[in-house]
């Protein structure tokens, strides 16, 4: 069986925590490492995803057994059985997605990985295994950095499809590097897999910093490579190529909007004032522009009218994005000849749906 790594957010009656799982089948998934006092037959809810690649699905499960690793590469952890009734369609949908992505991503094309790892043997084994696994014809490029500082130099010099970061690094730890990456507009959406021998504390530090997945060392590279194949496909998907520029003076609204749209696979560029908007607009060539209406320097509808009226944007939807009442938003949008509007009050799911709609209509 081809295994790949899933992010698994576990919700019990007492707490929520993030771990990872393997071996998704219609019957079960092994969720490794962490069981926090749970016992057999306990019912839990698991949210499964490959961040930036597969939309999360919530699955109700029963803990069927615990497994202890006997040999290198064995998976230790909880053996979960999905509920037979309600969650099954979502599990099957997830499986369908995985099968499709596996099928289409049978080889890598121009996939560039940065491995941040100070252990020379791990680096060499990773590179050797990856080239054996993907074959020498694949355009797989693996760069190495021994420290967070060196990694940052490489990250600012090349575009990466995946960053794999060891938690324990000399000087600054892996979580610090991940935080820096997530705070950097141009690089914030690069998939990040954290690895470590540090167990739960390393996992919590790196996931809190913004890692998409965490894998305990020793890493089973084959499983990581399968996950890379899924990510490789996604990096070529249409949504990943779509850039949305968002102008809003609320730092929180910007952060939430970015998180929601990036989780849906878009590239998001943000600006919190007009100067930043001008700079990013010139730099990123957006496919869609969202403009908050009530900005301190100018109304968003005036910005939209100016952009459209002076033909600074052609075939790029400019959409008002505000918490104003819908009728007021519709009126302002119409007066400014904006492409449309999205109400913040409708929430993140609606935001993603409407962005897809506007991008679809613009295609």
Partner 1 sequence: MKDIQAQFLGRFTETARKRIERMHAALEDTQTGISVLIHELHSLAGESGLLGFSQFVGIARTGETEAKRMQNEGGSSAQSLRATVVELERMLDELSPR
In the complex, the residues that contact partner 1 under the rule CB under 8 A are: 9, 16, 47, 56, 249-253, 255-257, 259-260, 263, 292, 294, 296, 322-325, 343-349, 351
Q: Which residue, 165, 224, 299, 187, is CA-closest to 20?
A: 224
Which residues have a Cβ under 8 Å from the Cβ of 24 and sit 6 or more positions away?
A: 4, 6, 48, 91, 94, 95, 98
- Using the minimum distance from each CB to partner 1, give the nearer residue, 155 or 245: 245
**Smallest distance from the beta carbon of 348 to partner 1, in angstroms?**
4
Nearer to partner 1, 104 or 272 (CB): 272
**Cα–Cα distance, 292 to 236 (Å, whole number):** 30
**Nearest distance from C-beta of residue 250 to partner 1, angstroms:** 5
Answer for the pair 317, 340: CB distance below 8 angstroms, yes or no. yes
12: its two tokens: 């019990």
Smallest distance, partner 1 to C-beta of residue 94, A? 16
Question: Coil, strand, or helix at residue 199?
Answer: helix
- Give the shortest CB-360-to-partner 1 separation in angstroms: 20
**Looking at beta carbons only, is 61 or 232 nearer to partner 1?**
61
When the beta carbons of 115 and 324 are compared against partner 1, the nearer one is 324
CA atoms within 13 A on the CB side of 289: 28
Closest approach, Cβ 279 to partner 1, in A, equals 23
* Residue from 172, 171, 170, 223 nearest 193 by CA: 223
In the bound state with partner 1, the residue whose beta carbon lies nearer, of 80 and 254, is 254
Query: Is the Cβ of residue 65 or residue 345 nearer to partner 1 in the bound state?
Result: 345
Provide the total of helices (H) and of strands (E) in the chain, helices listed first.
12, 16
C-alpha to C-alpha distance for 124 and 121, rounded to whole angstroms: 5
Minimum gap (Å) between residue 51 Cβ and partner 1? 10
Are 68 and 116 in contact by the 8 Å Cβ rule? The answer is no
């Amino acid at each position: 069986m081809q295994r790949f790594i899933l992010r698994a957010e576990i919700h019990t009656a007492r707490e929520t925590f993030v771990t990872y799982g393997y071996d998704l089948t219609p019957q079960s998934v092994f969720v490794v490492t962490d069981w926090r006092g749970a016992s057999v037959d306990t019912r839990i809810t698991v949210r499964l995803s490959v961040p930036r690649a597969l939309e999360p699905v919530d699955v109700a499960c029963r803990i069927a057994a615990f497994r202890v690793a006997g040999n290198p590469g064995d998976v230790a952890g909880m053996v979960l059985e999905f509920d037979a009734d309600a969650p099954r369609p979502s599990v099957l949908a997830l499986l369908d997605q995985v099968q499709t992505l596996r099928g289409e991503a049978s080889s890598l094309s121009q996939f560039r990985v940065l491995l941040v790892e100070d252990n020379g043997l791990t680096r060499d084994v990773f590179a050797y295994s990856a080239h054996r696994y993907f074959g020498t014809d694949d355009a797989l490029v693996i760069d190495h950095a021994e420290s967070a500082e060196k990694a940052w130099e490489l990250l600012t010099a090349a575009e990466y499809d995946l960053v794999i970061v060891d938690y324990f690094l000399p000087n600054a730890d892996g979580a610090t590097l991940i935080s820096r990456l997530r705070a950097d507009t141009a690089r914030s959406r690069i998939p990040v897999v954290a690895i470590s021998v540090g167990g739960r504390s390393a996992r919590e530090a790196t996931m809190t910093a913004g890692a998409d997945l965490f894998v305990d060392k020793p890493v089973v590279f084959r499983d990581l490579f399968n996950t890379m194949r899924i990510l490789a496909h996604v990096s070529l998907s249409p949504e990943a190529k779509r850039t949305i520029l968002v102008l809003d003076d609320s730092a929180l609204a910007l952060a939430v909007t970015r998180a929601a749209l990036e989780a849906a696979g878009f590239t998001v560029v943000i600006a919190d004032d007009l100067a930043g908007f001008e700079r990013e607009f010139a730099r990123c060539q957006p496919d869609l522009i969202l403009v908050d209406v009530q900005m301190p320097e100018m109304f968003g509808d005036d910005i939209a009218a100016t952009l459209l009226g002076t033909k600074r944007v052609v075939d790029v939807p400019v959409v008002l994005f505000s918490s104003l009442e819908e009728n007021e938003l519709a009126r302002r949008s119409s007066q400014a000849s904006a492409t449309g509007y999205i109400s913040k009050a409708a929430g993140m799911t609606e935001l993603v749906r409407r962005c897809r709609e506007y991008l679809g209509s613009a295609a």
